[in-house]
Copies of this chain bind each other. A is one copy, B any other.
Amino acid sequence: MPHPLPAILAHLDQQAPAAEARLVDWLRIPSISAQPAHAGDCLRAADWLRDQLQGMGFTASVRPTAGHPVVVGNHPGPGGGAGGGGGAGGGAAAPHLLFYGHYDVQPADPLPLWTSPPFDPAVVQGPHGPRLVARGAVDDKGQCAMWLESLRAWHAVAGGPPCRVTVLVEGEEEVGSPSLDAFLAANRAELAADVAVISDTNMWDIDTPAITTRLRGMVYAQIDLRAARRDLHSGLYGGSARNPINLLTQILGELQDAEGRIRIPGFYDGIEEIPAAQRAEWAALGFDEAAFLGEVGLSLPAGERGRPPLERLWARPTADLNGIWGGYMGEGSKTVIAAEAHAKLSCRLVPGQDPQAVAEGIRRFVAERLPADCTAEVQVFSTTPGIAVPADSPWVQAARRALSAEYGRPAVLMGSGGSIPVVESLKRLLGLDSLLVGFGLNDDQVHSPNEKFELRCLHQGARSHARLLAELAGGA
Protein backbone atom coordinates (compact mmCIF):
# COMPACT_ATOMS: atom_id res chain seq x y z
CA MET A 1 0.00 0.00 0.00
CA PRO A 2 1.53 3.34 -0.96
CA HIS A 3 1.97 5.96 1.73
CA PRO A 4 -1.19 8.12 1.72
CA LEU A 5 0.61 11.46 1.97
CA PRO A 6 0.67 12.34 -1.75
CA ALA A 7 -3.07 11.73 -2.00
CA ILE A 8 -3.67 13.73 1.17
CA LEU A 9 -1.73 16.70 -0.22
CA ALA A 10 -3.66 16.48 -3.46
CA HIS A 11 -6.90 16.35 -1.52
CA LEU A 12 -5.91 19.49 0.42
CA ASP A 13 -5.17 21.33 -2.84
CA GLN A 14 -8.48 20.28 -4.30
CA GLN A 15 -10.33 21.23 -1.10
CA ALA A 16 -8.67 24.65 -0.76
CA PRO A 17 -11.78 26.72 -1.65
CA ALA A 18 -13.90 24.67 0.77
CA ALA A 19 -11.24 25.12 3.49
CA GLU A 20 -11.34 28.89 2.97
CA ALA A 21 -15.14 28.87 3.20
CA ARG A 22 -15.02 26.92 6.47
CA LEU A 23 -12.53 29.36 8.00
CA VAL A 24 -14.71 32.27 6.88
CA ASP A 25 -17.68 30.68 8.67
CA TRP A 26 -15.70 30.51 11.91
CA LEU A 27 -14.38 34.08 11.51
CA ARG A 28 -17.93 35.40 11.20
CA ILE A 29 -18.50 34.53 14.86
CA PRO A 30 -17.24 37.52 16.94
CA SER A 31 -15.80 35.44 19.78
CA ILE A 32 -14.25 38.35 21.69
CA SER A 33 -13.31 36.90 25.06
CA ALA A 34 -12.66 40.26 26.74
CA GLN A 35 -16.23 41.51 26.25
CA PRO A 36 -18.99 39.89 28.32
CA ALA A 37 -21.56 40.78 25.64
CA HIS A 38 -19.80 38.27 23.37
CA ALA A 39 -19.95 35.32 25.78
CA GLY A 40 -22.64 33.73 23.60
CA ASP A 41 -20.42 34.15 20.52
CA CYS A 42 -17.55 32.45 22.34
CA LEU A 43 -19.83 29.49 23.01
CA ARG A 44 -20.95 29.46 19.35
CA ALA A 45 -17.31 29.43 18.19
CA ALA A 46 -16.62 26.51 20.52
CA ASP A 47 -19.71 24.62 19.30
CA TRP A 48 -18.64 25.20 15.68
CA LEU A 49 -15.26 23.62 16.37
CA ARG A 50 -16.77 20.65 18.23
CA ASP A 51 -19.01 19.98 15.23
CA GLN A 52 -16.05 20.12 12.84
CA LEU A 53 -14.09 17.66 14.97
CA GLN A 54 -17.03 15.29 15.22
CA GLY A 55 -17.29 15.43 11.44
CA MET A 56 -13.76 14.07 11.05
CA GLY A 57 -13.92 11.09 13.36
CA PHE A 58 -13.20 12.74 16.69
CA THR A 59 -15.07 12.42 19.92
CA ALA A 60 -15.38 16.04 20.93
CA SER A 61 -17.12 18.14 23.53
CA VAL A 62 -17.46 21.69 24.75
CA ARG A 63 -16.32 21.77 28.37
CA PRO A 64 -17.32 24.43 30.85
CA THR A 65 -14.78 26.41 32.88
CA ALA A 66 -15.10 29.36 35.24
CA GLY A 67 -14.85 31.49 32.08
CA HIS A 68 -15.31 30.65 28.42
CA PRO A 69 -15.45 26.93 27.58
CA VAL A 70 -12.67 24.68 26.34
CA VAL A 71 -13.12 22.37 23.33
CA VAL A 72 -11.57 18.92 23.77
CA GLY A 73 -11.40 16.34 21.00
CA ASN A 74 -9.86 12.92 20.80
CA HIS A 75 -9.03 10.57 17.96
CA PRO A 76 -7.52 7.16 18.75
CA GLY A 77 -5.46 7.06 15.57
CA PRO A 78 -5.08 3.99 13.34
CA GLY A 79 -6.97 0.96 14.60
CA GLY A 80 -7.53 2.29 18.13
CA GLY A 81 -10.79 2.71 20.01
CA ALA A 82 -11.99 6.19 21.01
CA GLY A 83 -11.19 7.62 24.44
CA GLY A 84 -9.06 6.34 27.31
CA GLY A 85 -5.33 5.88 27.54
CA GLY A 86 -2.60 8.49 27.61
CA GLY A 87 1.12 8.93 28.12
CA ALA A 88 2.77 6.59 25.71
CA GLY A 89 -0.07 6.98 23.18
CA GLY A 90 0.45 5.09 19.94
CA GLY A 91 3.86 3.81 21.06
CA ALA A 92 7.38 5.01 20.34
CA ALA A 93 6.93 5.07 16.59
CA ALA A 94 3.54 6.77 16.66
CA PRO A 95 3.38 9.36 19.39
CA HIS A 96 0.27 10.86 20.88
CA LEU A 97 -0.05 14.48 19.77
CA LEU A 98 -1.91 17.28 21.51
CA PHE A 99 -2.90 20.19 19.26
CA TYR A 100 -3.42 23.41 21.23
CA GLY A 101 -5.08 26.56 19.91
CA HIS A 102 -7.58 29.25 20.88
CA TYR A 103 -10.87 30.23 19.31
CA ASP A 104 -11.19 33.61 21.06
CA VAL A 105 -10.08 36.85 19.43
CA GLN A 106 -9.03 40.35 20.43
CA PRO A 107 -11.54 43.21 20.43
CA ALA A 108 -11.76 44.82 16.99
CA ASP A 109 -11.59 48.49 17.92
CA PRO A 110 -10.71 51.02 16.65
CA LEU A 111 -13.35 50.09 14.10
CA PRO A 112 -12.91 53.15 11.82
CA LEU A 113 -9.43 51.95 10.86
CA TRP A 114 -10.70 48.70 9.33
CA THR A 115 -11.00 48.70 5.53
CA SER A 116 -13.72 46.00 5.77
CA PRO A 117 -15.89 44.90 8.72
CA PRO A 118 -13.75 42.82 11.13
CA PHE A 119 -16.30 40.00 11.35
CA ASP A 120 -17.27 40.01 7.65
CA PRO A 121 -14.11 38.42 6.21
CA ALA A 122 -12.87 39.93 2.94
CA VAL A 123 -10.43 38.44 0.43
CA VAL A 124 -8.19 41.18 -0.93
CA GLN A 125 -5.13 41.07 -3.19
CA GLY A 126 -1.73 41.73 -1.67
CA PRO A 127 1.87 41.39 -2.84
CA HIS A 128 1.75 37.67 -2.02
CA GLY A 129 -1.61 37.04 -3.69
CA PRO A 130 -5.00 36.88 -2.02
CA ARG A 131 -5.23 37.40 1.73
CA LEU A 132 -8.11 37.08 4.16
CA VAL A 133 -8.83 40.22 6.22
CA ALA A 134 -10.74 39.67 9.47
CA ARG A 135 -10.29 39.73 13.22
CA GLY A 136 -8.83 36.32 14.09
CA ALA A 137 -7.78 35.62 10.47
CA VAL A 138 -4.37 34.49 11.69
CA ASP A 139 -4.61 34.76 15.52
CA ASP A 140 -5.58 32.05 16.05
CA LYS A 141 -8.54 30.75 14.04
CA GLY A 142 -6.57 30.77 10.78
CA GLN A 143 -3.62 28.94 12.32
CA CYS A 144 -5.99 26.39 13.93
CA ALA A 145 -7.69 25.92 10.55
CA MET A 146 -4.41 24.64 9.07
CA TRP A 147 -4.09 21.67 11.38
CA LEU A 148 -7.86 21.13 11.34
CA GLU A 149 -7.78 20.87 7.53
CA SER A 150 -4.80 18.53 7.66
CA LEU A 151 -6.66 16.24 10.08
CA ARG A 152 -9.73 16.43 7.85
CA ALA A 153 -7.68 15.40 4.82
CA TRP A 154 -6.09 12.49 6.69
CA HIS A 155 -9.57 11.45 7.72
CA ALA A 156 -10.95 11.71 4.17
CA VAL A 157 -8.09 9.93 2.45
CA ALA A 158 -6.71 7.55 5.10
CA GLY A 159 -9.64 7.16 7.49
CA GLY A 160 -7.97 9.15 10.26
CA PRO A 161 -4.67 10.57 11.47
CA PRO A 162 -1.60 8.32 11.54
CA CYS A 163 -1.30 8.63 15.31
CA ARG A 164 -3.42 9.34 18.31
CA VAL A 165 -4.51 13.00 18.48
CA THR A 166 -5.98 15.11 21.26
CA VAL A 167 -7.27 18.60 20.52
CA LEU A 168 -7.39 21.33 23.19
CA VAL A 169 -8.71 24.72 22.08
CA GLU A 170 -9.42 27.36 24.72
CA GLY A 171 -11.45 30.55 24.60
CA GLU A 172 -9.50 32.85 26.94
CA GLU A 173 -6.02 33.16 25.46
CA GLU A 174 -6.51 36.82 24.62
CA VAL A 175 -7.37 37.63 28.24
CA GLY A 176 -4.47 35.72 29.79
CA SER A 177 -5.97 32.20 29.99
CA PRO A 178 -7.33 32.61 33.53
CA SER A 179 -9.16 29.25 33.49
CA LEU A 180 -6.65 27.13 31.61
CA ASP A 181 -4.31 26.02 34.38
CA ALA A 182 -7.20 24.77 36.51
CA PHE A 183 -8.62 22.92 33.50
CA LEU A 184 -5.28 21.27 32.72
CA ALA A 185 -4.80 20.26 36.35
CA ALA A 186 -8.30 18.82 36.59
CA ASN A 187 -8.00 16.82 33.35
CA ARG A 188 -4.43 15.59 33.46
CA ALA A 189 -5.20 12.01 32.55
CA GLU A 190 -7.48 12.85 29.65
CA LEU A 191 -4.99 15.36 28.23
CA ALA A 192 -1.90 13.22 28.60
CA ALA A 193 0.13 13.07 25.37
CA ASP A 194 3.71 12.95 24.13
CA VAL A 195 4.12 16.41 22.66
CA ALA A 196 2.03 19.52 22.10
CA VAL A 197 1.79 21.06 18.63
CA ILE A 198 0.99 24.77 18.58
CA SER A 199 0.48 27.07 15.62
CA ASP A 200 0.45 30.59 16.98
CA THR A 201 3.87 31.83 15.80
CA ASN A 202 5.41 33.18 12.61
CA MET A 203 7.48 32.05 9.65
CA TRP A 204 10.82 33.75 9.04
CA ASP A 205 9.32 35.09 5.80
CA ILE A 206 6.69 33.84 3.37
CA ASP A 207 9.21 31.58 1.62
CA THR A 208 11.02 30.35 4.72
CA PRO A 209 9.27 28.09 7.22
CA ALA A 210 10.29 28.28 10.84
CA ILE A 211 10.11 26.33 14.07
CA THR A 212 10.21 28.44 17.19
CA THR A 213 12.45 26.66 19.66
CA ARG A 214 13.05 29.45 22.15
CA LEU A 215 10.64 31.65 24.08
CA ARG A 216 11.59 34.25 26.64
CA GLY A 217 9.96 34.11 30.06
CA MET A 218 9.18 37.06 32.25
CA VAL A 219 9.24 38.56 35.70
CA TYR A 220 6.88 41.53 35.89
CA ALA A 221 7.12 43.72 38.97
CA GLN A 222 5.88 47.03 40.28
CA ILE A 223 8.12 49.13 42.50
CA ASP A 224 6.47 51.57 44.91
CA LEU A 225 8.84 53.98 46.66
CA ARG A 226 7.67 56.04 49.61
CA ALA A 227 9.55 58.84 51.39
CA ALA A 228 7.79 61.56 53.41
CA ARG A 229 4.30 60.79 54.64
CA ARG A 230 2.83 63.65 52.60
CA ASP A 231 3.66 65.83 49.61
CA LEU A 232 6.04 68.65 50.55
CA HIS A 233 6.68 72.19 49.25
CA SER A 234 9.85 72.01 47.20
CA GLY A 235 10.94 75.47 48.35
CA LEU A 236 10.48 74.88 52.05
CA TYR A 237 11.87 71.33 52.06
CA GLY A 238 14.19 71.21 49.03
CA GLY A 239 17.75 70.54 50.20
CA SER A 240 16.66 68.70 53.33
CA ALA A 241 13.88 66.24 52.45
CA ARG A 242 14.40 63.16 50.30
CA ASN A 243 12.71 63.32 46.90
CA PRO A 244 11.40 59.85 45.97
CA ILE A 245 11.30 60.65 42.24
CA ASN A 246 14.97 61.64 42.24
CA LEU A 247 15.62 58.48 44.26
CA LEU A 248 13.66 56.31 41.83
CA THR A 249 15.66 57.62 38.87
CA GLN A 250 18.91 57.07 40.79
CA ILE A 251 17.97 53.47 41.56
CA LEU A 252 16.49 52.52 38.19
CA GLY A 253 19.08 54.52 36.26
CA GLU A 254 21.58 51.92 37.47
CA LEU A 255 19.65 48.97 36.02
CA GLN A 256 22.04 48.80 33.06
CA ASP A 257 25.79 49.35 33.03
CA ALA A 258 27.62 51.17 30.24
CA GLU A 259 27.78 47.91 28.26
CA GLY A 260 24.04 47.39 28.51
CA ARG A 261 24.35 44.54 31.00
CA ILE A 262 21.69 44.28 33.71
CA ARG A 263 23.01 44.90 37.22
CA ILE A 264 20.32 43.02 39.15
CA PRO A 265 22.25 40.69 41.50
CA GLY A 266 22.60 37.18 40.09
CA PHE A 267 20.69 38.16 36.97
CA TYR A 268 22.81 36.13 34.55
CA ASP A 269 23.20 33.11 36.82
CA GLY A 270 22.46 29.84 35.04
CA ILE A 271 22.34 31.20 31.50
CA GLU A 272 24.22 29.06 29.01
CA GLU A 273 25.58 30.49 25.80
CA ILE A 274 23.58 29.32 22.82
CA PRO A 275 25.17 26.51 20.79
CA ALA A 276 27.56 27.59 18.06
CA ALA A 277 25.40 25.89 15.43
CA GLN A 278 22.38 27.93 16.49
CA ARG A 279 24.38 31.13 16.48
CA ALA A 280 25.64 30.36 12.98
CA GLU A 281 22.14 29.55 11.78
CA TRP A 282 20.80 32.86 13.13
CA ALA A 283 23.69 34.78 11.60
CA ALA A 284 22.89 33.18 8.25
CA LEU A 285 19.35 34.60 8.39
CA GLY A 286 20.80 38.02 7.59
CA PHE A 287 18.48 39.84 9.98
CA ASP A 288 18.51 43.53 9.10
CA GLU A 289 18.37 45.28 12.46
CA ALA A 290 18.70 48.70 10.85
CA ALA A 291 15.52 48.05 8.87
CA PHE A 292 13.79 46.51 11.91
CA LEU A 293 14.54 49.61 14.00
CA GLY A 294 14.16 52.03 11.11
CA GLU A 295 10.56 50.97 10.63
CA VAL A 296 9.76 52.40 14.09
CA GLY A 297 11.97 55.46 13.77
CA LEU A 298 15.08 54.25 15.59
CA SER A 299 18.63 53.72 14.32
CA LEU A 300 20.85 52.74 17.26
CA PRO A 301 20.51 49.26 18.78
CA ALA A 302 20.01 49.18 22.53
CA GLY A 303 20.63 46.17 24.77
CA GLU A 304 23.90 44.38 25.45
CA ARG A 305 26.92 45.54 23.47
CA GLY A 306 28.80 42.90 21.55
CA ARG A 307 25.88 40.54 21.00
CA PRO A 308 24.32 39.96 17.57
CA PRO A 309 20.81 41.39 17.23
CA LEU A 310 18.86 38.11 17.09
CA GLU A 311 20.72 36.90 20.15
CA ARG A 312 19.73 40.13 21.99
CA LEU A 313 16.10 39.64 20.91
CA TRP A 314 15.77 35.88 21.37
CA ALA A 315 18.45 34.61 23.72
CA ARG A 316 19.42 37.39 26.11
CA PRO A 317 17.40 38.75 29.03
CA THR A 318 16.21 42.34 29.34
CA ALA A 319 15.05 44.79 32.01
CA ASP A 320 12.58 47.25 30.51
CA LEU A 321 10.66 49.86 32.47
CA ASN A 322 7.11 49.62 31.14
CA GLY A 323 5.76 52.55 33.11
CA ILE A 324 6.78 55.22 35.59
CA TRP A 325 4.78 57.80 37.50
CA GLY A 326 4.83 60.12 40.47
CA GLY A 327 4.26 63.72 41.57
CA TYR A 328 2.71 66.32 39.31
CA MET A 329 1.90 65.17 35.77
CA GLY A 330 -0.41 67.97 34.61
CA GLU A 331 0.11 71.13 32.57
CA GLY A 332 2.67 73.69 33.66
CA SER A 333 4.33 73.83 37.06
CA LYS A 334 3.73 72.54 40.55
CA THR A 335 6.55 72.86 43.04
CA VAL A 336 6.01 69.68 44.98
CA ILE A 337 8.26 67.03 46.46
CA ALA A 338 6.04 63.98 46.10
CA ALA A 339 5.54 61.42 48.83
CA GLU A 340 5.68 58.47 46.41
CA ALA A 341 7.09 57.34 43.09
CA HIS A 342 6.28 54.21 41.11
CA ALA A 343 7.55 52.12 38.23
CA LYS A 344 6.67 48.94 36.39
CA LEU A 345 9.60 46.73 35.41
CA SER A 346 9.56 43.64 33.24
CA CYS A 347 12.51 41.36 32.76
CA ARG A 348 12.36 39.02 29.79
CA LEU A 349 14.08 35.82 30.84
CA VAL A 350 15.97 33.14 28.94
CA PRO A 351 16.47 29.46 29.75
CA GLY A 352 18.64 28.90 32.79
CA GLN A 353 17.42 31.93 34.70
CA ASP A 354 15.31 31.14 37.76
CA PRO A 355 12.35 33.55 37.75
CA GLN A 356 12.06 33.46 41.53
CA ALA A 357 15.75 34.28 41.88
CA VAL A 358 15.36 37.17 39.43
CA ALA A 359 12.38 38.48 41.42
CA GLU A 360 14.49 38.24 44.57
CA GLY A 361 17.34 39.98 42.74
CA ILE A 362 15.03 42.89 41.88
CA ARG A 363 14.10 43.21 45.55
CA ARG A 364 17.75 43.20 46.55
CA PHE A 365 18.72 45.64 43.80
CA VAL A 366 16.19 48.15 45.12
CA ALA A 367 16.83 47.48 48.81
CA GLU A 368 20.59 47.94 48.45
CA ARG A 369 20.03 51.45 47.09
CA LEU A 370 17.34 52.55 49.53
CA PRO A 371 17.93 55.14 52.27
CA ALA A 372 16.90 53.84 55.68
CA ASP A 373 13.98 56.24 56.06
CA CYS A 374 12.35 55.35 52.73
CA THR A 375 10.40 52.21 51.92
CA ALA A 376 10.11 50.23 48.71
CA GLU A 377 7.44 47.68 48.01
CA VAL A 378 8.18 45.31 45.13
CA GLN A 379 5.02 43.60 43.91
CA VAL A 380 5.72 40.68 41.58
CA PHE A 381 2.82 40.10 39.19
CA SER A 382 4.18 37.14 37.22
CA THR A 383 7.15 34.80 36.98
CA THR A 384 7.59 32.49 33.98
CA PRO A 385 10.82 30.86 32.89
CA GLY A 386 12.38 31.08 29.45
CA ILE A 387 11.98 27.94 27.37
CA ALA A 388 14.24 26.27 24.80
CA VAL A 389 13.55 23.06 22.90
CA PRO A 390 16.78 21.28 21.88
CA ALA A 391 17.38 21.47 18.15
CA ASP A 392 18.04 17.73 18.07
CA SER A 393 14.80 16.63 19.73
CA PRO A 394 12.89 14.11 17.57
CA TRP A 395 9.93 16.49 17.35
CA VAL A 396 12.03 19.33 16.03
CA GLN A 397 13.81 17.01 13.61
CA ALA A 398 10.49 15.70 12.32
CA ALA A 399 9.16 19.21 11.89
CA ARG A 400 12.31 20.30 10.05
CA ARG A 401 11.88 17.45 7.58
CA ALA A 402 8.18 18.19 7.05
CA LEU A 403 8.61 21.92 6.55
CA SER A 404 11.71 21.64 4.41
CA ALA A 405 9.93 19.18 2.14
CA GLU A 406 6.94 21.51 1.72
CA TYR A 407 8.92 24.69 1.09
CA GLY A 408 11.94 23.27 -0.71
CA ARG A 409 14.36 25.00 1.62
CA PRO A 410 15.56 24.35 5.15
CA ALA A 411 13.25 25.31 7.97
CA VAL A 412 14.75 27.88 10.30
CA LEU A 413 14.97 27.40 14.07
CA MET A 414 13.85 30.74 15.45
CA GLY A 415 13.52 32.29 18.83
CA SER A 416 10.80 34.61 19.99
CA GLY A 417 11.46 37.53 22.25
CA GLY A 418 7.99 37.26 23.69
CA SER A 419 6.36 34.70 25.92
CA ILE A 420 3.62 32.11 25.20
CA PRO A 421 2.37 31.33 28.70
CA VAL A 422 0.51 28.17 27.62
CA VAL A 423 3.83 26.55 26.70
CA GLU A 424 4.94 26.90 30.29
CA SER A 425 1.55 25.65 31.59
CA LEU A 426 1.63 22.57 29.36
CA LYS A 427 5.13 21.76 30.59
CA ARG A 428 4.41 22.40 34.24
CA LEU A 429 0.99 20.74 34.50
CA LEU A 430 1.09 18.03 31.81
CA GLY A 431 4.84 17.52 31.42
CA LEU A 432 4.56 18.28 27.70
CA ASP A 433 7.17 19.86 25.48
CA SER A 434 5.72 22.08 22.76
CA LEU A 435 6.49 22.09 19.07
CA LEU A 436 5.83 25.62 17.81
CA VAL A 437 5.20 25.57 14.08
CA GLY A 438 3.46 28.72 12.91
CA PHE A 439 2.68 30.31 9.58
CA GLY A 440 2.00 33.94 10.45
CA LEU A 441 4.02 36.79 8.94
CA ASN A 442 5.42 39.85 10.71
CA ASP A 443 3.03 42.16 8.85
CA ASP A 444 -0.16 40.26 9.75
CA GLN A 445 -1.44 43.13 11.98
CA VAL A 446 -2.14 40.80 14.88
CA HIS A 447 -4.27 42.58 17.54
CA SER A 448 -4.58 45.59 15.20
CA PRO A 449 -7.08 46.77 12.61
CA ASN A 450 -7.01 44.88 9.30
CA GLU A 451 -5.57 41.66 10.74
CA LYS A 452 -4.90 39.37 7.76
CA PHE A 453 -3.72 35.92 6.85
CA GLU A 454 -2.11 35.13 3.51
CA LEU A 455 -4.12 32.35 1.79
CA ARG A 456 -0.80 30.97 0.56
CA CYS A 457 0.22 30.60 4.21
CA LEU A 458 -3.10 28.96 5.04
CA HIS A 459 -2.76 26.32 2.34
CA GLN A 460 0.95 25.65 2.65
CA GLY A 461 0.43 25.54 6.41
CA ALA A 462 -2.25 22.86 6.03
CA ARG A 463 0.02 20.88 3.70
CA SER A 464 2.87 21.30 6.19
CA HIS A 465 0.72 19.96 9.01
CA ALA A 466 -0.30 16.99 6.87
CA ARG A 467 3.39 16.24 6.26
CA LEU A 468 4.16 16.81 9.97
CA LEU A 469 1.57 14.19 10.99
CA ALA A 470 3.26 11.73 8.66
CA GLU A 471 6.75 12.57 9.94
CA LEU A 472 5.78 12.44 13.62
CA ALA A 473 3.97 9.15 13.10
CA GLY A 474 7.04 7.51 11.67
CA GLY A 475 8.16 8.96 8.36
CA ALA A 476 6.51 9.63 5.01
Residues of A within 8 A of B (CB): 216, 218, 220, 227-230, 232-243, 245-246, 248-256, 289, 292-293, 296-304, 309, 312-313, 316, 318-329, 332-338, 341-344, 346, 348, 371-373, 381-382, 416-419
- Give Cα A304 to B313, complex, Å: 42
If A218-B335, A418-B233 touch, whether A240 touches B301 (CB-CB below 8 Å) is yes
Among B239, B298, B344, the residue within 8 A (CB) of A313 is B239
CA–CA, A329 and B322, complex, Å: 9
Given A241-B296, A417-B235, A336 and B322 contact (CB-CB distance below 8 Å): yes
B299 pairs with A373, CB closer than 8 A: yes
- Interface contacts beyond A241-B296, A243-B320, A323-B327: sample of 4 additional A-B pairs, CB < 8 Å, sorted by A: A237-B313, A243-B302, A249-B343, A250-B256
Residues of B within 8 A of A255 (CB): 246, 249
Q: Which residue of B lies closest to A253 (CB)?
A: B253
Q: Report A35 CB to chain B, min CB distance, Å.
A: 18
Q: Is B418 a contact of A320 with CB atoms below 8 Å?
A: no
14 contacts between A and B (CB under 8 A): A235-B419, A236-B417, A237-B313, A239-B302, A240-B302, A241-B293, A241-B298, A248-B249, A249-B321, A253-B254, A302-B371, A323-B328, A324-B324, A324-B329
Please indicate the chain B residues that have their CB under 8 angstroms from the CB of A240 in the complex.
289, 292-293, 301-303, 309, 312-313
Question: Could you say which residues of chain B place their CB within 8 Å of the CB of A230?
Answer: 296-297
Q: Identify A348's interface contact among B228, B235, B322, B334, CB under 8 A.
A: B235
Q: Cβ of B297 and Cβ of A245 under 8 Å apart?
A: no
Minimum Cβ distance to chain B for residue A56 (Å)? 35
Closest 10 CB pairs of A and B: A253-B253, A235-B418, A229-B297, A323-B327, A239-B312, A323-B328, A245-B321, A239-B303, A238-B318, A249-B252
Q: Do the beta carbons of B323 and A324 come within 8 Å of each other?
A: no
* Residues of the B chain whose Cβ atoms lie less than 8 Å from the Cβ of A296: 228-230, 232, 237, 241
| Across-interface contacts of A333 in B (CB, < 8 A) | 220, 322, 344, 346, 381-382
Contact of A324 among B220, B228, B303, B327 (CB under 8 A): B327
A251, A322, A326, most chain B CB atoms within 10 A: A322
Given the complex, which residues of B lie within 8 Å of A298, measured CB to CB?
227-228, 241-242, 373
A110 to chain B, nearest CB (A): 14
- Is there contact, CB below 8 Å, between B229 and A323? no
Looking at the assembled complex, report how far the CB atom of A327 sits from the nearest CB atom of chain B, in whole angstroms.
4
**Least CB distance, A444 to chain B, in whole angstroms:** 13
B348 and A234 contact, CB distance less than 8 A: yes
Q: How far is the CA of A328 from the CA of B325 in the complex (A)?
A: 9
B346 touches A418 (CB 8 A): no
Q: How far is the CA of A256 from the CA of B249 in the complex (A)?
A: 11
> Which residue of A232, A300, A324, A419 has the most chain B CB atoms within 10 A of its CB atom?
A324
A302→B253 contact, CB < 8 A: no
Residues of B within 8 Å of A293, CB to CB, are 240-241, 373
